[in-house]
Chains A and B, each alone.
Chain A
């Protein structure tokens, strides 16, 4: 009895804390966001290490793509991309044969789907990506890393039986954590998902994203350190004439990004015209990459080490121009042949190289500008224009370089690049993923979405005969405003925290009180088949934060929260 009393005291202390901090659904969402951040970082690091192992298997080195491919003889540089790409193609082909469900890309799952990232197809695609990337394809590994982080969060949300609107937030948190871990850029990761994928930087969505990317960054920091992605010598303070040069760069990067997207877009139809099976197309792509790599191993990989070379002033103009042409061709081959991966880092490299070359031209025209500084700013401007995300570009370049002086020229250059590109085309690197995705619950008209689609199964319930101590324990176990009373699926009402909260601390003085003595009996209920607008009307007339859901037999089968109904409606409104 004494031990039970001590346990209850502890529980009550916790409950007081929960009540005094006014913890509600939105706060628990932040907690889940933190979990997603942790899981996302682990998934990203796990896949990154697996890719490193695969690269070691192919080349006997794992120091970086360019270094690894430079260290092997030319014949091996020809063979490895063919093997890697063929394996990637075979895995994708088998995946198509054995899985009829299309695996939603994380962007689709967030923007158009219902937050479900399929486990089997994501793992298959990640393994395929490992072969393609470790095989030297000129493509970024960030895409699969972020997809894996999104999968971890989606799986976690599904384990918690979260409804679609909330599950989408979890997937978004996973993607933000993946980006934060991959680019060492927590702010940029959160803004990438908010600005590019969700299309809003409202605090309701940005808050969980920031928490997820922060936890992800902390996890990565404690496992492998968290240095800036690109080492950059001190960035000088920009004068007015420098800003003019950066404005010119903005226009140039805006135009170049449109051209770059057109090249990427036209690369896929070129390969499709060959009427080869997927594995055949990929093998051909691998062969072309291998042929290029025989003389120029620097075409292999995402180009991260090359960006560092450009920023460190290590390349001559002729080498830069050659690298730019080769990298553009190689990335179009990899992308067009269907290799799994991203074009984020290759785009950074193209922006940096173009910026460096532009600075040399401006110097020629007597405009004094440091080429490596122009390369860094142009990288951001090119990214802003290509990804349709100026805020993300500013934050990412700032975090990648850790130089405050970049902010002013970056703001000018990215905004001009963005405006220039949008005046010509509204397409972005990600518009295909965002516009053509798996259709989910949230893609239906509002009247066709039912309460069951937003329902949480198995909410915490008590029997009407439960004691007041049981009530106190239940409120502590799940911080919420209402606990349902149910016996054998029959609904009896609810106990509201606002009514009983002040008395939970002295639960032992209410030993004669049963849950049924203090229940609110006249609670509105929702039918599982009721459409979303009906649920909205019912919530509008009720002070409760959640309502019970009944089946056709009148049995309680779950609950729906006010936050989920409102979140779903706001998402549908956003999609128009």
Chain B
């Protein structure tokens, strides 16, 4: 068993501020390809693991944000991809406008929980959620994520 939880800060591996996908699978494949490339993992295996997890229980929050993820043994730090879908994505019957796709090392339950709770707390503030959904510029979005989410810039 690994001595877990010596976590490195999660990093942003992909940003898609104008996603055109309207269904869960398309959205995950589009964002998943970039996250996989950044994390150097197999994209098909990653996306199918995320879809499998979604089939167990949806990760969509009532505020229109989804936090899909899959656990990857060989990773060392959490890689996050942010997708904004202005038209909305049908996420198991719920309309989602922002998704945070995560590739999570199996040894980093603490870092994962910390990130998920921080996201949920922050985005329940409607002003912050609207700010996030309105970004057009990647640099501004990265700066916002660094300020409020303490996500490292790459």
Q: Which A residues fall within an 8 A CB radius of B? A: 465, 467, 495-496, 498-500, 502-503, 506, 509-514, 516-524, 542-543
Contact = CB atoms under 8 A, between A and B. Distances in A.
A522 B106 CA distance: 9
A522 B1 contact: yes
B116 A512 contact: yes
Nearest to B70: A517
B1 A542 contact: yes
B4 A499 contact: yes
Interface string B39-76: 00000000000000100111111000001010100000
The 5 closest A-B pairs by CB, nearest first: A518-B109, A512-B59, A509-B120, A509-B117, A503-B113
B67 A512 contact: yes
12 contacts: A465-B56, A496-B109, A499-B110, A503-B114, A509-B120, A510-B116, A512-B57, A512-B60, A516-B56, A517-B53, A517-B109, A518-B113
A499 B109 contact: yes
Interface residues of B, number: 26
Nearest to B121: A509
B61 A524 contact: no
Contacts of B71: 517
Given A500-B109, A518-B109, A511 B114 contact: no
B2 interface: yes
A520 B1 contact: yes
Which of A465, A517, A520 has its CB near the most chain B CB atoms (within 10 A)? A517
Contacts of A524: 1
Contact of A514 (B1, B56, B60, B106): B56
Contacts of A519: 109
A510 B120 contact: yes
Nearest to B57: A514
Contacts of B116: 509-510, 512-513
A191 to B, nearest CB: 43
A510 B61 contact: no
Interface string B94-122: 00000000001010011011101100110
Given A465-B56, A465-B57, A521-B106, A510 B1 contact: no
Contact of A511 (B2, B61, B110): B61
Contacts of B112: 513, 517-518
Contacts of B60: 512
B8 interface: no
B117 A522 contact: no
A500 B57 contact: no
A511 B121 CA distance: 11
Contact of B113 (A467, A513, A516, A520): A513
Contacts of B134: none
Contact of B117 (A510, A520, A543): A510
B5 interface: yes
B109 A510 contact: no
Contacts of A543: 1, 3
A496 B5 CA distance: 11
Contacts of A499: 4-5, 109-110, 113
